[in-house]
Structure 1
Amino acid sequence: MKSTGIVRKLDELGRITLPIELRRTLGVSERDPLEIFVDEGKIILQKYEPADIFSGSKDDLVDYCGKKVAKSSIMELAKLAGIIE
């Protein structure tokens, strides 16, 4: 992990501000969703990218009832249901 040398304090509501240089470098814009991970005492922020609810794939997604589903998962489900061979 690479240190940026940037230190920020939490405000009274527990928020931090990401510096504009960091946001530009990582391609994060205002209102972009960020995913939060915890790993061995570290907090990791990552720009959120939707993934298939079944396989986790991020390729060839369609929206179904507010959920992301890969076309390959739809084909597999159709085979399991006996709709296609």
Structure 2
Amino acid sequence: MENKCTDINNLLEKLSLEGFSGYEFVDYWDADTMAVGMKKGNVLIYISAYDYSKTNGYDVIMEEFETGIILKSEYKRSYHELINDLLYFLK
């Protein structure tokens, strides 16, 4: 994505190789260059690379799109932990 930081663009590249289906990348946070979203059905997943260069971890918030109810919130997740989180919601 043109307006996103290198860490997010690298993540998007890696995620595109994971074989998830039925989701779309969304960007409801134009001003946040360190975040991107994934949406499938009524689930919205916010992924932030803030502090990634220091922690090698992503912050993840998964919520119901229509209600905003938080389904899961995790911080400083490694790439493999992030994939496991995504598998549960994107299966």
> TM-score range with shorter-chain normalisation?
under 0.3
Answer with 1 or 2: which has the greater Rg.
Answer: 1
TM-score (norm 2): 0.27
Would you tell me which structure has more helix in proportion to its own residues?
Answer: 2
TM-score (norm 1): 0.28
